[in-house]
Amino acid sequence: MSRKLKGIAAARGVAIAPIVHFHATLDHIPTWKVSEDAIEAERARLSGAIAGVTASLLELQRELAGSLGKHDVRIYDAQLAILHDETFRRDVEAEIAQYRVNLEVALQRVIARYEAVFAAMENPAMRERAADLRDIGRQLVGTLLANARQKYTANGADYLFAAEEFLPSDAGILDRAHIRGIVTAHGGKYGHGAILARSLGIPAVVGIEQIMLESSTGTTVVVDGDAGLVILDPTPTELADYERRGREQRAIDRRIAEVRFQPAVTPDGVHVQLLANVEGVRDLDALEVDVISGIGLFRTEFAFMERRQFPTENEQVAMYRRAMEGAKGKPVTFRTLDVGGDKPLGYFRMPEERNPVLGWRGIRLCLDWPDILYTQMRAILRASALGHARILLPMISTRSEVVRCREVLDQLSADLKATGVPFDPQIELGVMVEVPVLVPVLPDVLSVADFVSVGTNDLVQYLLAVDRDNQRVAKMYDPFHPGVLRVLQQIAGMANAAGKSVSICGEIAGDHWFTPILVGLGYRELSMAPVFLPRVKLMLRSFTVAECQDLAARAVAMQSTSAVRKLVQDEIQVRWARQLGAPEETRR
């Protein structure tokens, strides 16, 4: 009898193969007392270990360069940065000198302290940076003990990787010609291991705590990277179903390739703007500007979070100009600094809050510290001289917040004009709808805002009162809830009635099963992670606007989430499968 284990969907796709357990090889770490005259020798060992791991990472980066995108291969740059961080080195050396412990123990202690800092962060993307630290520690200690991990040879047989977690260095030991899927006990969809799995096209499910206990090497397993499901010892019926889905997936890939450079237009000729979400200038290298309508969300906070102090105005101008140049004349929407809550700045002391996600964050923080807002807005204005820039305000809950930001923008524009500094006088100021209370007062806000962008990640979370990163309640986070759809319909209706552009920039914009419903609700701009653009475009080309409106009207009128999902399964997924020439519906 089959057993089903639910985890977190980290990389799309379906895989079927025998599972192979991989274990960390550093079970025993030697411990000894270091005399004062031996401290320098331990420092020399640290230098040697760093050099050894650096050489290994550079070799792995070169090896994977042909398989990974330009952006994803830079994951190893992040690890190299940790290795060569002077603070990290000083902390390890201080641990040796102060407590007279050997290097292996010092590394474990320092990395454990660093991990604790990341683990306390609310932002899942930042929490998962702790995995990079563990990986670096494992590599350093392995080098010190001359205990390098051996490359796994599958002897020509397909297999699934199973472990406590999948770390970036694990890519170096895998037989990548025969790996079919990844399943881990820990990790999240934002970790570097998950990013690598997606970039390598390997289906992955993470966060199944019992996977190493419930399975054994050789067990036949299905990894459903779409649903976040792992099936141990699948039945013949389940195997046949997933084998069919694998064939359908290959059909999807072929069809996507056909429409890659075709316009994002419905069969009846209505264009929908498909835009990209980016986290910083480094994302621009991998961005195919020719297939997007612009950058719908430039998350400026990541540049702030990577620094040890606030970036100066000129540093910000250089960054924003780089984004404008990378967009090649297409619009770029810069979201103002959205830190606080789940995205703290290490160099900016913030008060402890019982519920930081509902606390001092986003525009609330920036209005309380106007120097931050002034500097950033002035930098964006200066960069706007190169093209079409837009400013997006996060965490807005009242009209007065927008009015204050408009006053700042007007004052800065006047100052730049008076001093002869070029900028775009038509620059737009928009609001992000993510706080539910903004919805009923949106008509008032639209009188002082130029456009609207719906941040569905937080909006849905707040509407449903569900923390989507809490595994105990994450299953209740479902944007197909009829109440959520009705709110999205209200937002689009009010924005369209006011003649203001309205977009979706949350995760559902990149969910192709949602595409016909969003178009039917009145959205003509969708901004998403670039990896989702091809599927959304293909889905968009499958439904007329009238069909989208009919689907949306019926979905909004339904009384349960399950009814909406049945509509998606019976009509949207069936049409999708027919478009691909598949015999049955593609299931999520």
204, 11 in Cβ contact below 8 A? yes
Find how far residue 191's CA is from the centre of its chain: 9
For residue 318, the surrounding DSSP H or E stretch is: helix 313-326
**In this predicted model, what pLDDT tens digit does every residue of 98-140 receive, in sequence order?**
999 999 999 999 999 988 888 776 555 566 678 888 899 989 9
Using CA atoms, how far residue 355 sits from 118, 124, 127, 342, in Å, is 17, 15, 17, 10
Pick from 160, 166, 161, 102: nearest CA to 134: 166
- Residues marked as catalytic: 192, 505
Could you tell me which residue, 345 or 510, shows the higher pLDDT? 510
Q: Where are the domains of the chain?
A: 3-24+150-234, 36-144, 294-433
The pLDDT tens digits for 285-316 are: 768 898 999 999 999 987 787 677 888 999 99
Q: Identify which has the larger pLDDT, 462 or 353.
A: 462
Residues 313-363 pLDDT 10s = 999 999 999 999 999 999 999 999 987 555 566 667 666 666 666 767 789
The string of pLDDT tens digits covering residues 2-11 is: 899 999 888 8
Burial class (CB in 10 A: 0-12, 13-18, 19+), 175: middle
Chain mean pLDDT for the chain: 88
Q: How far apart are CA 588 and CA 535, in angstroms?
A: 13
SS3 of 205, please? Answer: strand
To the question of pTM greater than 0.75 for the whole model, the response is no
CA dist 181 and 13 (Å) reads 9
**Three-class DSSP category at 360:** coil
Is domain 36-144 given the CATH code 1.10.274.10 in the classification?
yes
Instruction: Write the DSSP string, 446-486.
Output: HTT-SEEEE-HHHHHHHHHT--TT-TTTGGG--TT-HHHHH
**Fold for the domain defined by 294-433:** TIM Barrel (3.20.20)
Q: Superfamily assignment of 3-24+150-234 in CATH? A: Phosphohistidine domain (3.50.30.10)
